[in-house]
Amino acid sequence: MGSESGINGPEESAEGVPNAPRLPEFRHLLQGDFSAIDWRIFWSALPLVVFLLSNSFWPEDLWRTQVAIVASFVASAWVFAKNRDSGVIRVITVLGFVVVAGSAAVGLAVNSAKAFAAQNIASDFLIAAVCIGSVVIGKPLVGAVARESIPALRPLMKPEHRVFIYLTLVFMAYNIGTGIFRIFLLGEFSANEYVIISRITSPISLAFFLACYFTIRKAAGFQEKPDTSNTS
């Protein structure tokens, strides 16, 4: 567990001068310091890899579709079980797993790999609904996740901060657009092709999250401290 100083308020320096809670330094990643990365995020690719391998190389006359769906679902269940998040992030994870389970059930019932692969379409629209609902109740999703992920933000920005509202609405629009785009892809490609091609939106997602990071830092009034290590 990390320090709680960022939760209760600014900590006092040795000279008694209050310091603003520090936020994660993105430049550390650019310098090759990946110590702050939770590598479990890459586990989310495991169900995808298992599905592609099973649906490509398992003998077609031995229930290939069913095997691919079940194997991918088992991998998803393992990733879900290994997840140790809590709060809002955990709720989102649970919703995602419910979508996976529902997609697996539908895919097995209709013997369709596409029905199972369409799970990310359902997730897109579900997240969009969560976004608008969170704004309506005054607890925008982006703010809830950001304040939970970065405790130093809590004394700096309220849950209903307007920046969180704007970013949540943008995230909602992005998910709706992505969902519509993926519906088109699902109709044009095979299940395996769709699983791969539908992930071309990942760089856009990464760009959005980076934009959120810098926007939130700016809104929080965070200032880089000057480097005085080389001064006399």
Q: What is the pLDDT of residues 166-217, one digit of tens each?
A: 999 999 999 999 999 999 999 999 999 999 999 888 888 889 988 998 899 8
Length of the chain, in residues = 232
Mean pLDDT of 126-144: 95
Mean pLDDT of 64-72: 96
Confidence of residue 82 (pLDDT cuts 50, 70, 90): confident
**23, part of any domain:** no
- Strand-pairing partners, residue 18, are 12
Question: CB–CB of 81/40 below 8 Å?
Answer: no
In this predicted structure, what is the pLDDT of residue 68? 97
Residue 63, pLDDT > 80, answer yes
Confidence of residue 130 (pLDDT cuts 50, 70, 90): very high
What backbone phi and psi angles, to 5 degrees, belong to 199? -85, 5
In this predicted structure, what is the pLDDT of residue 6? 37
**143, part of any domain:** yes
In this predicted structure, what is the pLDDT of residue 33? 57
Confidence of residue 22 (pLDDT cuts 50, 70, 90): low
Question: CB–CB of 103/114 below 8 Å?
Answer: no
**109, part of any domain:** no
**51, part of any domain:** no
Question: CB–CB of 198/185 below 8 Å?
Answer: yes
- Strand-pairing partners, residue 11, are 19
Count Cα neighbours of 149 within 13 Å in the Cβ-side half-sphere.
Answer: 17
**177, part of any domain:** yes
**137, part of any domain:** yes
**CA angle at 179 for the pair 177 and 183, rounded to the nearest 5°:** 120
Strand residue runs (E) in 15-92: 18-19
Question: What's the total number of domains in the chain?
Answer: 1
Range of the domain at 157: 118-220
Q: Could you tell me the two tokens for 177?
A: 């657009």
Q: Could you tell me the two tokens for 150?
A: 């970065």
**126, part of any domain:** yes
In this predicted structure, what is the pLDDT of residue 38? 55
Confidence of residue 23 (pLDDT cuts 50, 70, 90): low
- Strand-pairing partners, residue 19, are 11
**52, part of any domain:** no
Mean per-residue pLDDT of the chain = 82
Residue 75, pLDDT > 90, answer yes
Confidence of residue 32 (pLDDT cuts 50, 70, 90): low
Q: Which amino acid is at 195?
A: V
Q: Which carries the bigger pLDDT value, residue 218 or residue 104?
A: 104
Question: CB–CB of 119/103 below 8 Å?
Answer: yes
In this predicted structure, what is the pLDDT of residue 210? 87
**DSSP-assigned letter for residue 226:** P
Q: Which carries the bigger pLDDT value, residue 28 or residue 203?
A: 203
